[in-house]
Amino acid sequence: MICLVSRSGRELQRYNNMGGRQVVGCIPYRYKEDMDGNMSNEIELLVVSSQKGQALMFPKGGWEIDESLEEAACRESLEEAGVIGIVECTLGQWNFISKRYGIYYEGHMFPLFVKEQLDQWPEKNLRRRIWMTVAQAREACQHWWMKEALDILVKRLMSPQQWKDISIS
């Protein structure tokens, strides 16, 4: 059973030793299908709009004390993007300055191989979700640390020839 309500509040939020939030994100991806419905080796990525604007990014949110990093990654992908899948090996950890509070946050990113895309999800009325090519997603994503995570994912998933063929600036 899927919960159609987002968690809210900061009572269960984790913080680092400097007082910054610990956040977890996912890069939802799938392989594009060809005209016959066969899976190709071309990757598509799912980005979401921010709650309070038009900025695009990968789903992310607070890591809470009652869940593992992987559980938080699954929850955020479901809440923000309405996708369910397999959380894969971590892409890394980044420290970045919060625009709102000016302190360092700790961000963890994971790939999420999408198995199901839901028609209804908790933040459907708050966000847009858009499937994009790697190059489009890299251009659209607003956060440098998420772009670095994307580069790691692409290198992990693609052959060296595919990586050369893709135009990432």
CATH of the domain at 87: 3.90.79.10
Over range 76-101, report the average pLDDT. Answer: 94
CB–CB of 47/140 below 8 Å?
A: yes
Q: Which residue has the higher pLDDT, 92 or 18?
A: 92
| 168 lies in some domain | no
CB–CB of 134/43 below 8 Å?
A: yes
| 119 lies in some domain | yes
| 37 lies in some domain | yes
pLDDT value at 153 more than 70: yes
Residue 71 pLDDT? 96
Residue 55 pLDDT? 92
Residue 163 pLDDT? 46
User: Alpha-carbon distance 43 to 46, whole Å?
Assistant: 10
Residue 94 pLDDT? 96
Residue 110 pLDDT? 98
User: Per residue in 40-74, pLDDT tens?
Assistant: 888 999 999 998 878 999 999 999 999 999 999 99
Residue 103 pLDDT? 87
Residue 6 pLDDT? 54
User: Alpha-carbon distance 47 to 126, whole Å?
Assistant: 14
Domain range enclosing 110: 22-159
CB–CB of 40/30 below 8 Å?
A: no
CA angle 137-143-149, nearest 5°?
70
pLDDT value at 133 more than 50: yes
| β-strand partners of 49 | 56
| 26 lies in some domain | yes
Write the DSSP assignment of 13-50 as a string of letters.
B-B-TTS-BEEEEEEEEEEEE-TTS-EEEEEEEEEEE-
**How many structural domains does the chain have?**
1
| 125 lies in some domain | yes
User: Per residue in 1-43, pLDDT tens?
Assistant: 455 555 555 678 999 888 899 999 999 999 998 888 888 888 9
User: Alpha-carbon distance 79 to 63, whole Å?
Assistant: 13
pLDDT value at 167 more than 50: no
